[in-house]
Amino acid sequence: MSEDSKYVEHCKGINGLDKVILREVRGCSAEIYLYGGQVTSWKNEHREELLFVSSKAIFKPPKAIRGGITICFPQFGSGALDRHGFARNRFWSIDNDPPPFPTNTTNKAFIDLILKQSEEDAKIWPHRYEFRLRITLGPGGDLMLTSRIRNTNTDGKSFTFTFAYHTHLYVTDISEVRVEGLETLDYLDNLKDRERFTEQGDAITFESEVDKIYLSTPTKIAILDHERKRTFVLRKDGLPDAVVWNPWDKKAKAMPDFGDDDYMHMLCVEAACVEKPITLKPGEEWKGRQELSVVPSSYCSGQLDPRRALSV
Ligand code: BG6
């Protein structure tokens, strides 16, 4: 086995769709479907799944895969295009010769994907672009996604987009989950026509449907799974907003590709750029990064200021 194939395996997934598996020496892994450029699995060294994928997810175009990390581009949420844009239900390609990253990395488990304008998409979004997505599994099991989006229009036109890494985390029991780092921030409530509110009180907990876009959020957010005593740490760069979503029971039942009880075991926390869309002139490039890691919950106990605990 060559060094590369030890870390990066190309194979077929559900319904014969192309899939890439990233592996690290300690046994951590991640799986990526070229359909949607979507991470559908992220496991720690004990082979425990850390991402949620719906028990009824449909791995078949044109439906987007319900779960994992969905790429929302060039539109987050509702608007002129279908909800969350088209990147999530397009076939991405392997990018064999990506432009170099400014920082040199010794990581071996990574894959570069690319999405470009198709003739079909030009009719609904008349812009030429190169969307490069690098997905890396670090030696400690951290999962990093870096998006580089370049305007390659030849007609001199700028384009504008919104974006999210629609990340479905697997949680043991949603009623025992707490999110730290978003308290006291302003948010747009998707359940109230994006009206603006200010979050009150302590860390965020869950007892009903939630669909909020938190604005100007810190670069680190902690998601504590009390049952399992583990904490997801989401770090981000270039993505000021953070979406928090759980459909709860009624909406869960209304979604054909979502199990009735699935809502108990998932929470979406999504590094995003929604409130202030990004505009790129021809030749300009935007970069947005999300990094996920897991630490024991004792590491960032609720007694501590999460910003201090997370900076350890
Ligand atoms: C979330 C949005 O990111 O995605 C919600 O905030 C939306 O409003 C949810 O319902 C799921 O969207 P979809 O299109 O995948 O059903």
> If the chain, 312 residues long, is cut into consecutive pieces of 10 residues, what is the mean pLDDT of each piece?
76 98 95 98 97 97 98 97 98 95 83 97 97 96 98 98 98 97 97 96 92 98 96 98 98 97 98 98 98 85 48 42
Q: Is 166 a catalytic residue?
A: yes
Ligand 1 pocket mutation pick from 83, 253, 266, 275 by most atoms within 8 angstroms of CB: 83
pTM over 0.85: yes
Tell me which residue has its CA closest to atom 7 in ligand 1.
Answer: 77
Torsion of the alpha carbons at 296, 298, 302 and 308, rounded to the nearest 10: -90
- The question of whether 119 is a catalytic residue gets the answer no
Q: What is the pLDDT of residue 105?
A: 75
pLDDT score of 312: 39
Atom number of ligand 1 nearest to Cα 78: 8
Name the token pair of 86.
Answer: 């088209």
